[in-house]
Amino acid sequence: MRDLPAETTDGTRIDLLGNIEFPYEVEQCRLRGASGIGLYRTEFLYLGCDDDPTEESHYEAYALVVQAMGEKPVIMRTLDLGADKMRSLPDPEDERNPFLGLRSIRLALRNRDLFRIQLRAMLRASVLGDLRIMFPMVSTIMEFRQAKMVLADAMEDLEEAGVAFNRELKVGMMVEVPSAVMMMDRFVEEVDFFSIGTNDLIQYCLAVDRSNKDVANLYTAADPAVIRMIEMAVRAANESQVPISMCGQMSGNPMYTMLLLGMGLRCLSATPAAIPEVKRVCRSVSIEHCESIAKRVSSLEDARQIKTFLKEELSKVFPEFPL
């Protein structure tokens, strides 16, 4: 199905993008017919190194992917690490819970010279294709505006140096913090696109550390509160006609595909291996059917009921799917 569109039985086109962590993974996305890169994680450049990557190292890694995808979009997420993972930075004081501490966009804004180096490299690569920049873990309007100011500074650096870049490139943000969901009506006026990061959104919504074996069983995308948050975000973006996608693990699980389509998502980004199965679901259902599933899910009270229902619905379409 690589060359077939991810189109529902009633003619609605779904964009299926790929998530990658390393440049070489772009080939796997191409082989599976991805219509772009929905999440290019850039942390590999920082991990395992005593020194921060140079601007040239950034540029080379970004240019490879953008050129390989041609005219298809490549969404690059800026640094999404905690200060405890950065060898070149001093360990943060009193960092008892890194997930609630100095990480992601907070870390970048605290270390603006490091941030500008990455942004300059992305801007340089933007002339090679459809590169888009995405800021992670944005929790307030002010954070997004500050990040855009640093981006503007990076643009000014390149202009003064006579280096070409795409002045019209799109800038978006991850939706993975409950505060961002609650302020979607304001964010729609500031951003070019959204991408829902369910991995962190679930964690912050349910106050569950999925790496803690004592509470990991409480971590689930099927929790009604998580589903309601996703629905709120999608509705707000769609009402304002701001593109919204999903790039967390939930988007690559066929069990949730019909629910997500029924809630109004039309763009999903997943690991390359998950793309064919998600596409198969998309090509076998109608939006009307998906909307009826979403309506039913909204009436259920707990994650177990929701999972059971979604598995039953998927088995009607694909009895052979392992669930």
DSSP string, 62-108: HHHHHHHHTTSEEEEEP---BGGG-TTSPPPTT-S-GGGSSBHHHHH
Question: Domain 15-317 in CATH: superfamily?
Answer: Phosphoenolpyruvate-binding domains (3.20.20.60)
Model pLDDT, residue 107: 93
The single-letter code of the amino acid at 273 is A
* Average of per-residue pLDDT values in the chain: 93
> What is the model's pLDDT at position 295?
98
Q: In terms of pLDDT, which residue wins out, 1 or 59?
A: 59
Percent of the chain having pLDDT more than 90? 85
pLDDT value, residue 88: 55
Total-model pTM:
0.93
Average pLDDT over residues 19-26: 95
Could you write out the DSSP letters of every residue in 126-164?
Answer: GGGSEEEEEESS--SHHHHHHHHHHHHHHHHHHHHHT--
CA-wise closest residue to 67 among 37, 31, 44, 32: 37
pLDDT band at 96 (very low <50, low <70, confident <90, very high): low
Domain range list for the chain: 15-317
Q: Where are the beta strands (DSSP E) in the chain?
A: 15-20, 37-40, 73-77, 130-135, 171-175, 193-196, 244-246, 267-270
Integer-rounded Cα Rg, in Å, for the chain is: 20
Backbone angles phi, psi at 16, to 5 degrees: -110, 115
Distances (CA, A) of 207 to 177, 178, 200, 251: 11, 11, 10, 21
- Which helix (H) or strand (E) segment holds residue 275: the answer is helix 275-282
> Rounded CA gap, 93 and 112, in Å?
19
Query: Measured between alpha carbons, how far is 136 from 108 in angstroms, rounded to an integer?
Result: 10
The tens digit of pLDDT for each residue in 290-312 reads 999 999 999 999 999 999 999 99
User: Per residue in 124-160, pLDDT tens?
Assistant: 999 999 999 999 999 999 999 999 999 999 999 999 9
Q: How far apart are CA 204 and CA 248, in angstroms?
A: 14
Torsion of CA 83, 271, 64, 154, to 10 degrees: -40
pLDDT band for 84, please (50, 70, 90 cuts). Answer: very low
Answer for the pair 35, 17: CB distance below 8 angstroms, yes or no: yes
